[in-house]
Amino acid sequence: MDRARGRLHMSPRAKIRDRIARALVVHAARVAAPDHAEWISAIAHELEHLPSGEAALSWALGCVFVSYTGRLRVMIRSSADWPRWLKLLEMLLCLGPVTAYFVFVSVSTVQGYTLFIPAQGYTQVEEGLIFGSATLIGPVGLISAFRTLFSRTYGPGKLLTTLLWLLAAWALTAFVALLVYFRLGLVAWCGMLLPFALLPATAVAHLAWLGSIRRRAVRPA
Amino acid sequence: MARNRRLSRHTLALIAALTQRPRAWHYGYELSRITELKSGTLYPILMRLCDRGSLESKWQPPTEEGRPPRHMYRLTAAGVAFAREALTGRRTAHGWTAPAGGYT
C-alpha cells in the first residue's frame, strides 16, 4: 500500500514519522547544491510512493545524506579556487595552535619543566615524547602546507598524506587519553580536541585534497 | 577520462538488477527493494552511472492526480556493455553471485 492510500489508516506514530520524513526531504531540497537539485527532487518525489512509517523515514534520511554529501563535495571542490592568502590563513588557523604547543612541549622537555602532573609511571621525558609526537602534526603539516601553497607543482604525495593522517589520529588518541586520565569536563574536551585534533584533521583533509588535484594535474594523459 | 576503479558490491548489485531487464525503465524505490540498498547508497551510485553515460534517466509524468512525477532509470547501450563486462569480470573477484532465481 503506498503512502497516498495508506495515510488514512496510519497509526499516530507512523503519522509523526511521515511528518518528519517530509520535513527532512524539504530540508534536503533546500540544502542541495544546484547541480544536485534534480536528483534530490527525484529522491523526494519517490518518497510519495513508499509505504509510510519507518521505510519513509529511512528514505528521507538517505535523501538528506545525499544532499549534504553533494553540498560538501561542491564546497571542497570550490576550495581549490580560493586565493592563496585565504588557504594560508586556513592552514595557520588549523595548524598554528598545535605547532605552538609542539614548540612549548619541546622547550619544556629540554629544559626539564613538568608539562602536566606526571602521569603514573611516566617520566618528564616520556611525557614530553608522547605529547611532542602528538603535536608533531603541527610543524610537519605546516611545512607541507607552505610548500604546497608556495609551489606551482608540489603537492603532498600519498606517503606524506598517510603520515599526516597517522599523526592526526595519534594526536586525537593522545589527547583523548589525557582527557580521560584526568577526568576533565566538557569545556576541556572542546578546548583541547578542537585545536589539537579537529582543526589539524581539517587541514590534513584539505592538504590531501590539494595534493590529489596536483597529482592529477601532473599525471600524463 | 573515466577512471577505472574497482566496482563496489553495491554497484555490482545495482548493475545486476538493471541488467535483468536492460531496456526497461526502473524506479528508484523499485531498485532499492530489489538490491536492498538504502536511498543514501543507491542514489550516489545512480548519479555516478549517469555521469559516466551508463545510465539514462527521465521524468515520468504523474499517472494519478495529485501525485508527483517519478524519476526513472534505464541502462544505455554503452551501459549494457559495461554491465556485462563488469558482471563477468568482477564476479569472481568480489565473491558476488546473483540470487538463484535472478532479480525479477
Q: Give the residue from chain B lying closest to A37, CA to CA.
A: B47
Cβ of residue A43 closer than 8 Å to a chain B Cβ: yes
Mutate to test the interface with B, among A1, A59, A67, A72 (most CBs of B within 10 A): A59
pLDDT, residue A4, reads 52
Cβ of residue B71 closer than 8 Å to a chain A Cβ: yes
> Chain A neighbours among B 15-44 (CB < 8 Å)?
27-29, 32, 38-44
Check pLDDT > 60 for residue B52: yes
Is A45–B69 a contact, with Cβ atoms under 8 angstroms apart? Answer: yes
Residues of B in contact with A61 (CB under 8 A): 40
C-alpha cell at A3: 503512502
**Full-model pTM:** 0.63
Domains in chain B, number: 1
**B71 pairs with which residues across the strands?**
B59
Of B12, B81, B79, B91, the closest CA to residue B52 belongs to: B79
pLDDT band at residue B95 using 50, 70 and 90 as cut-offs: very low
Max Cα–Cα distance, chain B, nearest Å: 48
What SS3 state is found at B72? strand
One-letter amino acid for residue B20 of the chain: Q
Mean pLDDT score across all residues of chain B: 83
Q: Give the residue from chain A lying closest to B26, CA to CA.
A: A46
List chain A residues with pLDDT less than 70: 1-10, 114-121, 218-221
Chain B nearest C-alpha distance from A168 (Å): 27
Max Cα–Cα distance, chain A, nearest Å: 77
As a whole-number percent, the residues of chain B with pLDDT over 90 amount to: 61
Cβ of residue A91 closer than 8 Å to a chain B Cβ: no
Cβ of residue B9 closer than 8 Å to a chain A Cβ: no
A and B: number of Cβ contacts within 8 A: 56
Number of Cα atoms under 13 Å in the Cβ half of residue A183: 0
Residue B1 lies in a domain: no
Residue B102 lies in a domain: no
pLDDT, residue B43, reads 96
Cβ of residue A66 closer than 8 Å to a chain B Cβ: yes
Is A221–B1 a contact, with Cβ atoms under 8 angstroms apart? Answer: yes
CATH at residue B50: 1.10.10.10
Check pLDDT > 50 for residue B98: no
Is A58–B39 a contact, with Cβ atoms under 8 angstroms apart? Answer: yes
pLDDT, tens digit (0-9, with 9 covering 90-100), for B55-71: 999 999 988 887 889 99
Give the closest of B39, B47, B70 to A63, CB-based: B39
Residue B31 lies in a domain: yes
Q: What is the DSSP string of A18-63?
A: HHHHHHHHHHHHHHS-GGGHHHHHHHHHHHTTSPTTHHHHHHHHHH
Residue B32 lies in a domain: yes
Is A49–B66 a contact, with Cβ atoms under 8 angstroms apart? Answer: no
**B56 pairs with which residues across the strands?**
B74
pLDDT, tens digit (0-9, with 9 covering 90-100), for A142-154: 999 999 888 877 8
pLDDT, tens digit (0-9, with 9 covering 90-100), for A74-116: 887 787 788 889 999 999 999 999 999 999 988 888 887 766 6
Which residue range is the domain that position B75 belongs to?
Answer: 9-59+68-94
Cβ of residue B93 closer than 8 Å to a chain A Cβ: no
Q: What is the DSSP string of A172-211?
A: HHHHHHHHHHTT--HHHHHHHHIIIIIHHHHHHHHHHHHH
Residue B22 lies in a domain: yes
Window from A108-117, B24-33, B45-54 with minimum mean pLDDT: A108-117
